[in-house]
Chain A
Amino acid sequence: MWQKAKALNLYKLLGHRGLMLVMAAMLLSAGTAWADDVSNAKQPIHFPHYIHAGKFKINCMYCHTYARRSKVAGIPPVAKCIGCHKHIPAVRNKPRIKKLFSYWKRKEPIPWLKVHDVPDFVYFTHKRHIRRFIFQDGRPTQQVCGMCHGDVKTFVTARKIRPLTMGWCLSCHRQFQGDSDIGKPMPAKRWMIPVAATDKPVMQVEYPQPAVLDPEHPKTMTHSEIKRMSDRLPKKIRDHLVHAPHDCWKCHV
């Protein structure tokens, strides 16, 4: 985190010099490509999402298992990859699988490059969004994840296809919620627009989900139970106007 502060600082310093500022501004405006596309940054393992998510239709949250429990989705631990792959001898000799196993032998973490990266001062929790759209509205997982991460099941390694800027977040939050109140329940059908042309509901949420995010209470709730619980929530949750344009403090720590 501290290095991150340093990195931002360096970037700002870049911006400081009058000319460089202009250049940086131009580059940024030239699109998020320069800043956010990692096609120029090679991932240690050429992970094929299109096989896992696309071909085998593995639920996103099978690997990114923290998404519904924590504010971060989490990169699957190496053990998880191994857990399946040691039972799949067919692909065992592919170079990238070899590489995977070499990491496992060395008990080394895989140094992935971070693709979806929001600044430190941003407070974003996966948990809230997952619980809202998947468990409450019961929408297909890949569609919900696709809202921000794009049609991953067609990718190889993940790409950042949404800007993930404040303006972009607000574009949803405001468009569907009126002016200032982030967090008001959204009308469900608005989101039924498929994320990509090839998109169709992948699988229904039937597997048990923890209702309370408590690892020690794996008390599972059916979807209807969760629905009932969520209906108990008061309608006006955190629904106020403030002097400033938005409740900045909800996102900015």
Chain B
Amino acid sequence: MDKMKDIEWAKINKDVLGSLESPRMIFWVVLAVCSLLVAAGVAAEAYQYNEGLGVALMNRPHFWQLYISNFIFWIGMSHSGTLLSAVLLLTNADWRKPIYRFAEAMTLFSILTAAFFPVIHLGRVWNLYWVMPYPNERTIWPNFRSPLLWDASAIFTYATSSALFLYIGMIPDLAICRDNAKGWRKKLYSMLSLGWMGRAREWLAFRKTYVLMGCFLVPLAVSVHSIVASDFAMSIMPDWHITSFPPYFVAGALYSGCAAIITLFVMLRYIFKFEEYMTVDIMDKIAKLTFAIAMVWNFLNFSEYASIWYSNDMYEKEVLIQKLIGPYWPVVWGMLLCSTVAPFAMAFEKFRQNMWAMFVLSIIIQLGMWLERFQIVSPPLASNHEPWTWAVVWPGTVQMTITAASFGWFTMLFLIFCKVFPSVSMYEVKELVFHHRRVSARSEIEDLDKEKEEALRAQEGVA
């Protein structure tokens, strides 16, 4: 652990700024793949746009499908960033410092990704703006009772504020970049860093703002996903109309988010050679956190099953049964396997501290959580109140393509971010190093004191 105190501050700057240039080959490969995916997605959407939503193979009763699942998935992923930066900031957890920057970036980008899906999924996209409450001479307003409307506002709020949070936290680093950059980067950074000179007054104001933003973001994050949950909880569909959905969704969000952080953690560590900063014991801490959240999520999940089972409500029980033994069983059991069974591996320290094991596990968990979102949306529609309309529909090529594209889009944004902005917070890592030095220094002094005392005692003994 104490390797950290030996890190030169100049080295920190060098490493991080270095990450802005000359990436490994793998970077370009991944970027290319992602852009291809995005292109495919755009094509698919254009096709669906001209033909009509039918090409996505949705139907009655499956009016909603993969688009909504993805929407929840991405919104969920966005939560971990806020958690790490805001919550851990407020709780003064030091180990967050090397990793919160990309976590926040992840937050922002996954919101941007999520925001696409409600739009794509509209029947008449060209009338999207009707959902927004805008003043008009006919005094026609959207329906304020509709959760979809809350969604729209929540997402916008969340997107703006987390963008701000990310930006504010970056200002000192941008200043550093500005000082070391040339060409267009110089222009960009000097514009963004708002003339940061690192004066005491600036630091004071900066700290205040940052903490305040943190305090604002925590409840916001919780509320956003609760609102997303209310899209379902507010309906009367069996197995959607569930009181415990908001906390369940929030837990699930944090869960998948943490998994995503682990993934990116390992990737960055490998791609940008951040081994010194993203140390094993930080990973250990994240893993512990993830494990805790996983347990919370599982508890909520099973308590939901139990309450359905014991409530003995005809409609909901039917859905539960159909989920477990019906045509959607692969999804549901897949989810249980990936998100309920797998995380127990994190109970073992050896596993927690093995980067690649954690990488694989995080991928598995995310897969599980994605399946979870799918099984939230589809099975209840498949076996709804009206037995006559029961039907099973699996998402078609168009939906799948657009889903893949969303992953491509997210990764693309993230990679580009890493090339343009410091993905590790330099000044906070410096703080971390400084802290470590303080600690080790103090322990040295204590050792000296001990020696002194012993020497004295020895003398007394002689006397």
Contacts and interface: CB of A to CB of B under 8 A. Distances in A.
Nearest to B138: A167
Contact of B137 (A167, A244, A246): A167
Contacts of A110: none
Interface residues of B, number: 9
Contacts of A244: 143
Nearest to B46: A16
Contact of B138 (A15, A16, A21, A245): A245
A12 interface: yes
Of the candidates B49, B126, B138, the one having the most CB atoms from chain A within 10 angstroms of its own CB is B138
Chain A contact residues: over half helix, strand or loop, or mixed?
helix
Contact of A16 (B49, B139, B141, B143): B49
B140 interface: yes
B126 A21 contact: yes
A173 to B, nearest CB: 11
Interface in A51-67: none
Contacts of A84: none
Interface in B133-153: 137-141, 143
Interface string B30-51: 0000000000000000000110
A16 B126 contact: yes
A211 interface: no
Contacts of A171: 137
Contact of A245 (B49, B50, B126, B140): B140
Contacts of B126: 12, 15-16, 21
Which interface class (under 10, 10 to 19, 20 to 34, 35 or more) fits A?
10 to 19
Contacts of A16: 49-50, 126
Contacts of A170: 138
A166 interface: yes
A16 to B, nearest CB: 6
Nearest to A180: B139
B131 to A, nearest CB: 15
Interface in A122-177: 166-167, 170-171
B123 to A, nearest CB: 12
Interface string A1-38: 00000000000100110000100000000000000000
Nearest to A165: B138
Contacts of A167: 137-138
Contact of B139 (A12, A15, A21, A245): A245
B137 A245 contact: no
A166 B49 contact: no
Contacts of A15: 126
A246 B141 CA distance: 10
Contacts of A12: 126
Contacts of A21: 126
Interface string A168-192: 0011000000000000000000000
B137 to A, nearest CB: 5
A245 B50 CA distance: 32
Contacts of A166: 138
A23 B234 CA distance: 40
A166 B139 CA distance: 12
Of the candidates A16, A21, A171, the one having the most CB atoms from chain B within 10 angstroms of its own CB is A16
A-B pairs with the 7 shortest C-beta distances? A245-B140, A167-B138, A167-B137, A245-B139, A170-B138, A15-B126, A245-B141
Interface of A: 12, 15-16, 21, 166-167, 170-171, 244-246
Given A167-B138, A244-B143, A245-B140, 12 more contacts: A12-B126, A15-B126, A16-B49, A21-B126, A166-B138, A167-B137, A170-B138, A171-B137, A245-B138, A245-B141, A246-B138, A246-B140
18 contacts: A12-B126, A15-B126, A16-B49, A16-B50, A16-B126, A21-B126, A166-B138, A167-B137, A167-B138, A170-B138, A171-B137, A244-B143, A245-B138, A245-B139, A245-B140, A245-B141, A246-B138, A246-B140
